[in-house]
Amino acid sequence: MKSWLILAGVLAACLLGSPAALASTQTTESGGVTATFTYQGHAPSYKGLRLSIARGGQVFYNAAVFSKWCRNRCWPALAKGPSVHVVDLEGNGQPDVVLDLYTGGAHCCTVEQIFSFDPGTMTYVKVERDFGDPGVAIDDLGHNGRYELLTADDLFAYEFTDFAASGLPIQIFSYSGGHFRDVTRSYPKLIAKDAALWLKAFRSMSKQGYQDSVGVIAAWAADEDLLGHSKLVSRYLTQQAKAGHLKTPLSPQEPDGAKFVAKLQKFLLNHDYLRRAYAHAEPARR
């Protein structure tokens, strides 16, 4: 009789959709730091997102998830696996907690929240950045025990054509002291590999008469300018414009041909692709 009552209670809770029955939990640990991320529901109806961080078994942070980009209506970013990570991003022996969030909807945007321990306040300080449509992957790109954030430059989305035809050049950040630092130029082999992919895509468009080709060639130009190949870029773009290969028929309001080249070069100059300065610090977005 007692067993039947317990079973009946469990079934009733499921039928009523109790929060406990719907809750999902992700837990990860490294270096004595444990992060627990909980949420309820499924797309598009996530709710109750919460993050807890413990050090040596003692909880130092426990709060509902909130972002300036999606407020308290964020989604867990589940496309590539767990949304919460414990990793020493700053290389200082103190693991940081990284939470992957999605702003919701079918299109856009990945938000990364980084929680670093502040011994002065004995709690975790949150810094966040919107990485847009490309999302971000955390990886040891230099194979030196330090981690970088691998993404693509979302500024190129819609800039020269529609999103589907836009090319987004590689972008790499490090994180330290509350700042994201653009260190893309430190990885010339990865830039060159990315440039080759965009040039291959551009050349493959010859079979379709280079229909809406400006997006991918823009990404190639950005990569090559990062490598210091600005003369090569200018020469190649001029040749392609004269040949009639720089087109944007799907976005007639955008310039093509020589006018596209002028707009692209101005854009690359304004966003540091044409400058030889090394990586620059970007204020963290709190």
Task: Convert the pLDDT of each residue in 202-255 to its tens digit.
Answer: 999 998 899 899 999 999 999 999 999 999 999 999 999 999 999 998 777 888
Q: Does residue 200 sit in the same domain as residue 78?
A: no
271 falls within a domain: yes
- Say yes or no: 119 and 232 in one domain: no
> Do residue 121 and residue 166 come from a single domain?
no
Mean pLDDT of 170-186: 95
**β pairing state of 84-87 and 96-102:** antiparallel
Residue 199 lies in a domain: yes
Contact 118, 126 (CB under 8 A): no
Q: Is 278 a member of any domain?
A: yes
pLDDT at 36 over 50: yes
**pLDDT value of residue 102:** 95
Supply the range of the domain harboring residue 61: 23-130
Q: Are residues 159 and 286 in the same domain?
A: yes
- Average pLDDT (192-205) is 97
| Contact residues for 54 (Cβ-Cβ < 8 A; gap 6+) | 33, 34, 35, 36, 60
Same-domain status, 34 and 84: yes
Pick from 11-15, 47-51, 188-192: least confident: 11-15
Measured at the CA of 114, the angle between CA 149 and CA 63, to 5 degrees, comes to 150
CB 155 within 8 Å of CB 170: no
Looking at the fold, whether 160 and 266 belong to one and the same domain comes out as yes
Lowest mean pLDDT among 13-17, 72-76, 111-115, 260-264: 13-17
Weakest-pLDDT range from 32-41, 226-235, 246-255, 271-280: 271-280
For residues 73 and 165, membership in a common domain is answered with: no
Residue 99 maps to a domain: yes
Residue 103 resides in a domain: yes
Structural domain ending residue among the three candidates 97, 115, 130: 130
User: Percent of the chain at pLDDT above 70?
Assistant: 88
Res 159 pLDDT > 90: yes
228, 122: one domain: no
One domain, residues 284 and 160: yes
Which amino acid makes up residue 146?
R
The answer to whether residue 11 sits within a structural domain is no
* pLDDT-based confidence at residue 284 (cuts at 50, 70, 90): very low
Residues 283 and 163 in one domain: yes
With 0-12 CB in 10 A as exposed, 13-18 as middle and 19+ as buried, what is 8?
A: exposed
Both 159 and 107 in one domain: the answer is no
Asked if 65 and 49 count as a contact pair (C-beta separation under 8 A), the reply is: yes
Domain count, the chain: 2
Going by pLDDT thresholds of 50, 70 and 90, the confidence category of residue 16 is very low
Question: 76-98 burial string, b = 16+ CB within 10 Å, else e?
Answer: bbbeeeebbbbbbbbeeeebbbb
Are 119 and 145 in contact by the 8 Å Cβ rule? The answer is no
170 & 279 share domain: yes
Q: Which residue has the higher pLDDT, 267 or 280?
A: 267
Q: How far is CA 52 from CA 7, 10, 25, 61, 63, in A?
A: 31, 27, 11, 5, 7
Q: What is the pLDDT of residues 48-81, one digit of tens each?
A: 999 999 999 999 999 999 999 999 999 999 888 8
The pTM score is 0.85
* 250 within a domain of the structure (yes/no): yes
Over the chain, what is the mean pLDDT? 88
For residue 58, being part of any structural domain is answered with yes
pLDDT at 130 over 70: yes
Q: How confident is the model at residue 22 (pLDDT cuts 50, 70, 90)?
A: low
CATH code, 92 = 2.40.128
